[in-house]
Amino acid sequence: MADALSFLSAPSPEPLRFQTVGGLLDATVARWPDRPALIVRHQGIRWSYAEFAAQVDELARGLMAQGLERGERIGIWSPNNAEWVLTQFATARAGLVLVNINPAYRLAELEHALRKVGCRALLLAGATKHSDYPGMVRTLVPELAAGAGGRIDSAAFPELKLLVQLGAEPTPGFLPFAQLVAGGARIEPAALAALQALLDPDDPINIQFTSGTTGAPKGATLTHFNIVNNGFFVGAGMRLTPQDRLCIPVPLYHCFGMVLGVLAAVAHGAAMVFPGESFDPLQVLETVAAERCTALHGVPTMFIAELEHPRFREFDLSALRTGIMAGAPCPIAVLRRVVDEMHMREVTICYGMTETSPVSFQSHVDDPLEKRVSTVGRVHPHVQVKVIDAAGRVVARGVAGEICTRGYSVMRGYWNDAARTAEVVDAAGWMHTGDLGVIDADGFCNIVGRVKDLIIRGGENVYPREIEEFLYRHPDVQDVAVVGVPDAKYGEEICAFIRLRDGARADDESVRAFCRGQIAHYKVPRYVHFVEAFPMTVTGKVQKYLLRELAEQQLGLRREATA
Q: What percent of the chain has pLDDT over 90?
A: 77
Residues 455-555: name the CATH superfamily: ANL, C-terminal domain (3.30.300.30)
The model's confidence at residue 560, banded by pLDDT at 50, 70 and 90, is low
Predicted TM-score (pTM) of this structure: 0.85
What is the rounded CA–CA span in Å between residue 213 and residue 462?
A: 9
Residue 423 burial by Cβ neighbours in a 10 Å radius (0-12, 13-18, 19+): middle
The model's confidence at residue 213, banded by pLDDT at 50, 70 and 90, is very low
The model's confidence at residue 301, banded by pLDDT at 50, 70 and 90, is confident
Q: What percent of the chain has pLDDT over 70?
A: 95
pLDDT score for 558: 65
SS3 label, residue 559: coil
Strand 36-40 with 322-325, pairing: unpaired
CATH architecture of 21-341: 3-Layer(aba) Sandwich (3.40)
pLDDT score for 559: 57
Dihedral (CA of 493, 425, 207, 21) sign: negative
Least confident of 99-103, 462-466, 536-540, 555-559: 536-540
pLDDT, mean over the chain: 92
Neighbours of 26 (CB within 10 A): 15
Query: pLDDT of 434-448, one tens digit each?
Result: 888 899 999 999 887
The model's confidence at residue 350, banded by pLDDT at 50, 70 and 90, is very high
Query: pLDDT of 16-25, one tens digit each?
Result: 999 999 999 9
Going by C-alpha positions, the residue among 329, 335, 556 that lies closest to residue 436 is: 329
pLDDT score for 541: 59
Q: Residue 192 carries which side chain, given as an amino acid letter?
A: L
Mean pLDDT of 493-506: 92
Please give, one letter per residue, the 3-state secondary structure of 10-62.
CCCCCCCCCCCHHHHHHHHHHHCCCCEEEEEHHHCEEEEHHHHHHHHHHHHHH
Q: Residue 379 carries which side chain, given as an amino acid letter?
A: V
Least confident of 136-150, 205-219, 281-295, 431-445: 205-219
Taking 50 as the threshold, does the pLDDT of residue 214 lie above it?
A: no
- Domain ranges (residues) in the chain: 21-341, 455-555
The model's confidence at residue 539, banded by pLDDT at 50, 70 and 90, is very low
